[in-house]
């Protein structure tokens, strides 16, 4: 355990911030930060508010790096960075959160206005309260505690508040990593609190490769009473779907227990509508697969196996099968489980929550993949109720306070 008395001093200060942390949640929820892809005007208003708030709270070194985007009224997608100098300059401990949120979805499923936060039973409800404002607020007040207590952290503290995480990060982290003023160094600790579980026991250190593929089967339309006059695209697609399921799972069957689930997944998902009436055999059928592939496998090999299955169906049913990649991303190398940031985070979670945190891999994707791809040792961690993107999204106040203490533990 670090200096116990000093850390308890920090924890008491964080606890005293609870009313201010709740108020900041209310303020942020009232400023929708939706990307243009999601029908919004970007993060500019929210970033301006946070810039002013950080200055009011005592942060003096605040940098804004803007990405130009003509689709929003400001023309800018801002990214904010602030640092507190530590005793040693060999590394900075960064907490990286995002300012943008997703749309509320169907309002009928919300009990209250999603952009007007409210508090019930120890929870703050509203769009964005958990994803990602819970840890954005927690990181700010964890760092503020060092300013207010006049404690110089062992290593420098860094807060990164980025844009565009909910879409593709082209105006957020990806933009920053390719910018001349990129503030991150290879020796820094980078924590991305944008995924986790309910007890905080998962430290995400690895992600699977992602591959979304559209399969378009072209046959020949005809009357259903005379099937030999056509080539049934729906029937061919059904056989292809089964063959893909069998061949992909057989060919890529190695397990890696660091991941949950431990195997590559190949799931049939969306299917486009074909003919609108019952008595017509469709001449075209379209379906999709979502594949999450262990890093040991190349996505080119997966696509080759898919093409072989498609060739077999073409030959058997006299149809044409086209494969179109909708999304493709090779997984970067995992963050080593013995990296200093992993050990420090495990100690912090143990001391704050009394939980043994385990390094794991996931099938989803986070912005940590951008960092790992560029050689940074990044981890993803948060104690959350996993309400992201759901109606009646909420943040547990206890998680917001507890996670702030975890961040402060890393800083100290």
CB 252 within 8 A of CB 297: yes
Q: Are residues 321 and 371 in the same domain?
A: no
Query: Rounded mean pLDDT of 21-32?
Result: 98
Contacts of 333 (CB under 8 A, 6+ apart): 295, 372
Q: What is the pTM of this model?
A: 0.87
pLDDT band (50, 70, 90) for residue 396: very high
Tell me the backbone φ, ψ of residue 51, rounded to 5 degrees: -60, -50
Number of domains the chain is built from: 2
Output the CA–CA distances (angstroms, integers) from residue 190 to 116, 381, 404, in the order listed. Answer: 32, 10, 15
Q: Are residues 116 and 230 in the same domain?
A: no
Q: Are residues 257 and 373 in the same domain?
A: no
Q: Which of 329, 349, 378 is the last residue of a domain?
A: 329
Query: Rounded mean pLDDT of 375-400?
Result: 97
- The domain containing residue 187 runs over which residues? 4-207+332-411
For residues 340 and 30, what is the distance between their CA atoms, to the nearest angstrom? Answer: 38
Q: Are residues 322 and 396 in the same domain?
A: no
pLDDT at residue 364 in the model: 81
Q: Are residues 197 and 272 in the same domain?
A: no
Q: Are residues 195 and 149 in the same domain?
A: yes
Q: Are residues 165 and 241 in the same domain?
A: no
CB 43 within 8 A of CB 133: no
Q: Are residues 352 and 274 in the same domain?
A: no
Q: Are residues 133 and 236 in the same domain?
A: no
Question: Following DSSP, what letter does each residue of 331-363 receive, concatenated?
Answer: PPPPPPTTSHHHHHHHHHHHHHH----EEEEES
Active-site residue set: 100, 165
Q: CATH number of the domain that 298 lies in?
A: 3.30.70.360
For 320-375, what is each residue's pLDDT tens digit?
999 999 999 899 999 999 999 999 999 999 999 999 999 999 988 889 999 999 99
For residues 364 and 210, what is the distance between their CA atoms, to the nearest angstrom? Answer: 8
Q: Are residues 283 and 337 in the same domain?
A: no
CB 369 within 8 A of CB 292: no
Q: Is the pLDDT of residue 1 over 70?
A: no
Q: Are residues 240 and 320 in the same domain?
A: yes
For 64-106, what is each residue's pLDDT tens digit?
999 999 999 999 999 999 999 999 988 999 999 999 999 999 9
More confident residue, 393 or 2: 393
pLDDT at residue 365 in the model: 82
pLDDT at residue 168 in the model: 87
CB 382 within 8 A of CB 139: no
Q: CATH number of the domain that 401 lies in?
A: 3.40.630.10
Query: Rounded mean pLDDT of 201-209?
Result: 96
Whether omega before 132 lies within 30 degrees of 0, making that bond cis, reads yes
Q: Which of 329, 352, 370 is the last residue of a domain?
A: 329
Q: Are residues 108 and 227 in the same domain?
A: no
Q: Which of 312, 329, 346 is the last residue of a domain?
A: 329
Question: What value does the mean pLDDT of the chain take?
Answer: 96
């Amino acid at each position: 355990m670090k200096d116990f008395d000093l850390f308890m001093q920090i924890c008491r200060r964080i606890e005293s911030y609870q009313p201010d942390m709740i108020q900041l949640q209310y303020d942020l929820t009232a400023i929708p930060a939706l990307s243009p892809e999601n029908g919004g005007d970007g993060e500019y208003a929210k970033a301006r508010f946070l810039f002013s708030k950080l200055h009011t709270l005592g942060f003096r070194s605040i940098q804004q790096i803007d990405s130009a985007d003509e689709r929003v009224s400001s023309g800018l997608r801002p990214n904010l960075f602030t640092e507190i100098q530590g005793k040693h300059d060999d590394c900075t401990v960064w907490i990286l959160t995002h300012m943008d949120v997703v749309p509320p979805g169907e309002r009928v499923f919300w009990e209250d206005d999603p952009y007007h936060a409210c508090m019930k039973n120890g929870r703050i409800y509203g769009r964005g309260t958990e994803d990602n404002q819970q840890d954005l607020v927690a990181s700010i007040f964890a760092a503020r505690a060092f300013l207010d207590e006049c404690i110089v952290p062992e290593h420098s503290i860094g807060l990164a508040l980025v844009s565009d995480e909910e879409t593709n990060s082209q105006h957020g982290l990806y933009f920053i990593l390719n910018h001349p003023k990129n503030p991150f160094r290879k020796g820094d600790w980078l924590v991305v609190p944008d995924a986790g579980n309910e007890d905080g026991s998962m430290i995400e250190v690895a992600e699977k490769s992602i591959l979304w593929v559209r399969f378009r089967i072209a046959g020949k339309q005809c009357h259903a009473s005379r099937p030999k006059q056509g080539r049934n695209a729906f029937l061919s697609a059904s056989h292809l779907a089964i063959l893909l399921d069998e061949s992909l799972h057989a060919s890529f069957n190695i397990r890696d227990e660091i991941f949950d689930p431990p195997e590559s997944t190949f799931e049939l998902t969306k299917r486009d509508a074909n003919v609108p009436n019952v008595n017509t055999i469709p001449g075209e059928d379209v379906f999709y697969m979502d594949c999450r592939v262990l890093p040991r496998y190349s996505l080119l090999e997966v696509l080759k196996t898919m093409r072989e299955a498609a060739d077999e169906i073409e030959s058997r049913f006299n149809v044409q099968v086209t494969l179109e990649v909708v999304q493709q991303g090779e997984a970067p190398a995992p963050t080593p489980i013995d990296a200093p940031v992993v050990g420090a985070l495990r100690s912090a979670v143990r001391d704050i929550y009394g939980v043994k945190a385990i390094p794991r891999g996931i099938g989803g994707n986070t912005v940590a993949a951008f960092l790992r791809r560029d050689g940074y040792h990044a981890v993803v961690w948060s104690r959350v109720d996993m309400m992201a993107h759901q109606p009646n999204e909420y943040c547990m106040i206890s998680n917001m306070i507890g996670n702030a203490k975890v961040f402060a533990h890393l800083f100290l």
